[in-house]
Amino acid sequence: MTLEWLQGQMRRLRGAWEAGRFPHAVLIHEAPGAGGEWLALWAAQLVLCTQPTQAPCGQCPACRHVARRQHPDLALLGPLEEATQIRIEQVRELSADLALTAHQGGYKVGILSPADSLNRFAANALLKTLEEPPPRTLLVLVATQPSRLPATLLSRCQRVRVQAPTREQALEWLRASRGEADWEAVLAVLGEAPVLAAQADPAVLVETAIETRRDLAQAGAGEGDPVAVAERWVRSEPKLRLACFENWLTERIRQRLLPAGHSSEVRAGAHPGDPGRLSIRDWFDLLDAVRELKSSFDAPINRSMAIETLLRRMAMNRAA
């Protein structure tokens, strides 16, 4: 189902394709959960479609195979199971595949998502392919934090920005694609991230978010047991709870910035509350720490201790 808020990006890419000036590498810089990977697959359909005057038609065998992620000339690259990074061996395999003749005589496409999970060696290997791309190839990188990628790699990609949709657009799409549910409450937890929301069980998500916000309020007041809370978070929906933690913090940052006439680009759901005694720097430091833990959560770390440390930091900062 088409994501209506991406119509502008789709028009620009189709226009470049029809004018014969389509780039060989595209970087889709997306807001989390806003549909960057969906747009990458749409771009793959555009160049692989067998109906060039209607591309992407969405109906030909090529378009349907891309939608199912099963096209022989489409390669999808992401971290392997139990890994947090795209490794150099994966990129080398992709580069070798792109150098081969396409099965259907047209383009070959590689999609890397999330591209900001490329480790340093993998990024350098990909740079060699970008510097001398094989003919009729397309590389699409999807990233929420492109600043993690080398500048030399970024400079060789045409950037496409995917911003979060409005709340109304997100709700309309979720209701049409998933049916009726308390999507307002889901987006209040996740922010304007409808693609991410569509993968969730609304009832479980909202219940977990309510419990998590209660834990955070107690921790911020110096109450509760951080050890017990951390262990419970690790056992049940830890990544969702960290997303709630991130949004809880960003809302408090907004509360500090907006009254002073400033704006903030941090995304958050509506979780009002007393910011307490923490300074704005304390809130940003905590936010950075939560985001760092989210990005490394699948690494071999003591997750319970890491969460406990964050909860204690919040309480200690308040008391300082």
Q: What is the 8-class DSSP label of residue 200?
A: S
Strands 25-30 and 158-162: parallel
Shared-domain flag, residues 245 and 136 = no
Shared-domain flag, residues 40 and 150 = yes
Shared-domain flag, residues 216 and 152 = no
Shared-domain flag, residues 133 and 205 = no
Domain span at residue 279 reads 201-319
Q: Is 21 part of any domain?
A: yes
The answer to whether the predicted template modeling score (pTM) of the entire model surpasses 0.85 is no
Using alpha carbons, list the distances in angstroms from residue 304 to 29, 224, 284: 32, 16, 22
Query: Count of domains in the chain?
Result: 2
pLDDT recorded at residue 128 = 92
Type of residue numbered 318: R
Token pair for 65: 């195979």
- Walking along the chain (320 residues) 10 residues at a time, the average pLDDT comes out as 92 95 96 94 97 92 96 94 86 95 91 94 94 94 93 96 95 94 88 89 89 90 91 90 85 70 38 52 86 77 91 68
Type of residue numbered 90: Q
Look-up: residue for tokens 């009002």? Answer: 272
H/E segment holding residue 286: helix 280-295
pLDDT tens, position by position, 122-178: 999 999 999 999 999 999 999 998 998 999 999 999 999 999 999 999 999 999 999
Shared-domain flag, residues 121 and 209 = no
